[in-house]
Structure 1
């Protein structure tokens, strides 16, 4: 049986659940003294622990053992053109966390109606969503959330660089040569307004390859899931 996982700091084989983690453990999961659970210290360590004390301020845990984890070899960075509704990113963060995306970077494009400062205001919320989502999908590290950038500031030092583009009708990820040594991938996905030809040309100059996802034009949210799943299937094995 899988044990529930929580976020906590660990010192000298003792951990404490506080605030939201305490509420979730005691009020939602109905855990009690003597129950076992897992702890993620957000430092790359997962532990099996036992509750030894509960009070109104915290639950005290005794570390039983460290659980070995497999290293996530594939590191995919998602550059996403900011959608017209910032609230859409809340669910996107949870989805890409489950799919193993390493880093998320919001991108300001010509068809973006949101101001950069409004995106910055959401960063802390998205970081919290990223941390909470790793408890359910049992990742070791949360998705790295970076500050918004403009399209021309996208870096190009990746082993593989992809832009999924709705006007590309021929080349797909299937046509990319299989290479298991590729572990560092950048993928760019547009918002509801798509990219301009000028923006696509800018990405091509940076070494990005424009690819299609399928024969249909997908919604942004669907394109993200399909695109990341295709990358995981091809390079994450």
Structure 2
């Protein structure tokens, strides 16, 4: 936890308190903090600050703001991801948020098990977003959208998204084109399929609607490896 995130409702309060048990445990147990120490804090979807602890007890910690500090830059990427296995989803959301993705779209495809859409993990997405923000020291959560129908998304939604970006790539191991270099400063869309990849019909439909298929080398990667590799390449300064 590299930042203490406070709810948006705290923004307009004259006094700020940390009351979430998980955060209190971190401050007391891991930081061994005391009155007079400073903390990195932020308002969810707001600014980030250095704050001083002015009072402490077992149920709350009162802080006062010392100075406002800058937020880490976002990666101007929209990540479209075929809905992965629930446990993989948790890691992917956390890592994508940590790397600063601006928007995440979870999509159904042929090789996505329909049972994944009933997973309780989908109801916990905000928890994973919070963990990713805390790791990165960020406060602004990405927008997350869910689409349970592949074709309507690709034909009706994706082309409009592509018009707003500089490029749109779909990662596919069985293609000759490689990921271009030096595009980190541009806004784009990256699409990653399920374990086993998109089927040929899906790849063809994505290409038909404005995507360029690219490969990441001659090794077949796990979904979480491919996503981390791509975001690392695309967010490199």
- TM bucket, shorter chain: 0.7 to 0.9
**5+ residue gaps, structure 1:** none
Q: Structure 2 matches for 1:141-156, cutoff 5 A?
A: 141-152=140-151, 153-154=153-154, 155-156=158-159
RMSD between superposed Cα atoms in Å = 2.3
C-alpha change, 1:179 and 1:125, in structure 2 (3 Å) is closer
Q: 173, 179, 188: which is aligned to 2:179?
A: 173
**Could you give the per-residue CA deviations for residues 67-106 of structure 1, whole angstroms, max 9, x where no partner exists?**
133653x4211111122x3111111122222222222222
Pairs aligned (count):
225
Q: 37, 40, 44: which is aligned to 2:39?
A: 37
Aligned equivalents of 2:108, 2:140: Cα separation in 1 = 26
Aligned equivalents of 2:222, 2:133: Cα separation in 1 = 25
Aligned equivalents of 2:185, 2:35: Cα separation in 1 = 47
Residue in 2 that maps onto 1:22: 24
C-alpha change, 1:90 and 1:69, in structure 2 (3 Å) is closer
Aligned equivalents of 1:88, 1:4: Cα separation in 2 = 23
* Maintained 8 Å contact 1:39/1:49: yes
Q: Give secondary structure in 2 for the equivalent of 1:125.
A: helix
**5+ residue gaps, structure 2:** none
Q: Give secondary structure in 2 for the equivalent of 1:123.
A: helix
Q: Give secondary structure in 1 for the equivalent of 2:235.
A: helix
Alpha-carbon distance, 1:224 to partner: 1.1
**Could you give the per-residue CA deviations for residues 114-159 of structure 1, whole angstroms, max 9, x where no partner exists?**
336415x423322112112222221232333322432221423232
Residue in 1 that maps onto 2:218: 215
Residue in 2 that maps onto 1:131: 130
Residue in 1 that maps onto 2:106: 106
TM-score with structure 2 setting the length = 0.85
Q: Give secondary structure in 1 for the equivalent of 2:217.
A: coil
* Maintained 8 Å contact 2:17/2:60: yes
C-alpha change, 1:105 and 1:128, in structure 2 (3 Å) is same
Aligned equivalents of 2:191, 2:70: Cα separation in 1 = 33
Q: Give secondary structure in 2 for the equivalent of 1:173.
A: coil
Residue in 2 that maps onto 1:182: 186
Alpha-carbon distance, 1:180 to partner: 7.0
Q: Give secondary structure in 1 for the equivalent of 2:146.
A: coil
Aligned equivalents of 2:174, 2:183: Cα separation in 1 = 26
Is structure 2 residue 101 aligned with structure 1 residue 97? Answer: no
Residue in 1 that maps onto 2:76: 75
Residue in 2 that maps onto 1:203: 206
* Maintained 8 Å contact 1:105/1:149: no
Aligned equivalents of 1:81, 1:90: Cα separation in 2 = 14
Aligned equivalents of 1:230, 1:179: Cα separation in 2 = 9
